[in-house]
Amino acid sequence: MKIFLFTILSFCLSSAAFAAGKEVTYTINDQSYQGYYVSPSADAPLVLLIHDWDGLTDYEVKRADMLAEMGYSVFAADLFGAGVRPTKMEDKRQHTGELYKDRTKMNSLMSGALDVAKEQGANTANTVVMGYCFGGAAALEMARSGADVKGFATFHGGLSTPEGQDYSKTKGKLLIMHGSADTAITMDQFAALTNELESSGINHEMITYSGAPHAFTVFGSDRYREDADKKSWQRFSEFLKEVTQ
């Protein structure tokens, strides 16, 4: 895997709340990516944030800044490529589908993002990986790969374990937060993962939120559920303190 840091640019967004962060353009295996890095201090624990299936957008940047205000460094990784921010359903399915079919590439992009975060000065020895929807599925992929981090958290993420994989290499604690009204990722899948993690002896916590559909944390969406969003964010905040001490 080849990683080169090309340019670090100011992240040009209209909101002054994003002034502390910066866009980081980097290359993995000859392809260019655009991540977002924000850090309150050099020794702050790191959160590696993996985006939803529409790529790294203002939503992930907002969540990164929220975490920075809580005292965490955040690298919001780009798994699709510089400028690839799909808006059409078929394009979103294409880009996520390509990575679901190439799990080796998916893992290399996430481990590469950690390397880039380290180049930015992040404390990668004290890291939690988290993701939304597709990003949640990616975070669990990283957990199964045996990545040496403190924990993994998912918000309404994909929960299925691919054939031939398991959690025997998992090192960090898992926090799974899921809407019980999610029809895209069903409670049957939630229960199956619960059984799998329990039988494998994996340290995990799994929470459901009543009435919450898929993507219940996405601000401004008709699927947004404030109660579930606030409760899941509070639990995630506590989780970060527990595992990064």
pTM of the model: 0.93
Euclidean distance between the first and the last CA atom of the chain, given in angstroms as a whole number: 31
User: Where are the strands (E) in 73-160, listed by range?
Assistant: 73-77, 123-132, 151-155
CA distance linking residue 4 with residue 12, whole number of Å? 22
**Whether the Cβ atoms of residue 210 and residue 240 lie closer than 8 Å to each other:** no
DSSP string, 103-128: HHHHHHHHHHHHHHHHHTT-EEEEEE
pLDDT values of the chain reduced to their tens digit, one per residue, 245 residues: 544 443 333 333 333 344 479 999 999 999 999 999 999 998 999 999 999 999 999 999 999 999 999 999 999 999 999 999 999 999 999 999 999 999 999 999 999 999 999 999 999 999 999 999 999 999 999 999 999 999 999 999 999 999 999 999 999 999 999 999 999 999 999 999 999 999 999 999 999 999 999 999 999 999 999 999 999 999 999 999 999 98
User: Where are the strands (E) in the chain, listed by range?
Assistant: 3-10, 22-28, 31-38, 45-50, 73-77, 123-132, 151-155, 173-179, 204-209
Task: Please report the domains of the chain, with CATH numbers, ordered by start residue.
Answer: 3-243 (3.40.50.1820)
